[in-house]
Amino acid sequence: MKERKRKLLSICCMLFVIAGMTGIPSTESKAASQLPMIDGSYLTYEEESIGYDTKLTRGDNLLAGYSKSRRRGPGLLYAGGTTVATRTVAEVGVAVIVERAQNKDETWEFYDGWQKFNYDVDKVSSDKEYEVEGGYFYRTRCIHSANGDMSSSFTNGVYIYEPFNPDPDPEP
């Protein structure tokens, strides 16, 4: 009798978990499906986007990596990335690539890129702030490495508004 109750309770719990999991993605996918997407990145008007890494190689040196894009104001963009190793390793690196696109584009256009390596540590971060042309969505892509283990990450596109430009020649 106890075994039968345990099985029934286990089945009920499993069904509850499955029902809860299927309800969450359907709500998110409806909202996300309404946004345009280029190469896996949604074009958003959010102030910030963070992308988390997807492992490309197997290994035990690379713990995590992320990319970040943030609108600092009209015509201002912050972009950067971080790589974290599982422990102190010989070399930890992050390569940061900034791309831009407009709403009707089908691909991202290269804007800027750089890389940074730290040695005998467990993490590396690198970021820059730019004055950029408004009217574009900007995203950050990163390649993360720790002693040969690699992963990559990318953000959604963050819209940068045109800077306010008061009339340079006002009437007296």
The per-residue pLDDT for range 63-75, each reduced to its tens digit, is: 999 999 999 999 9
State residue 59's pLDDT score. 81
State residue 9's pLDDT score. 45
| pTM greater than 0.85 (yes/no) | no
Rounded distance between C-alpha atoms, residue 71 and residue 79, angstroms = 9
Q: What is the maximum alpha-carbon separation in the chain?
A: 94
Per CATH, the number for 37-160 is 2.60.40
The per-residue pLDDT for range 143-172, each reduced to its tens digit, is: 999 998 999 999 999 999 998 765 555 554
State residue 20's pLDDT score. 41
State residue 55's pLDDT score. 72
State residue 142's pLDDT score. 98
Report yes or no: 130 and 112 within 8 Å, Cβ to Cβ: yes
Average pLDDT of the chain to the nearest whole number: 83
**Which residues, listed in sequence order, are joined to residue 117 by a DSSP beta bridge?**
93
Domain boundaries, the chain: 1-34, 37-160
More confident residue, 116 or 20: 116
The per-residue pLDDT for range 83-111, each reduced to its tens digit, is: 999 999 999 999 999 999 999 999 999 99
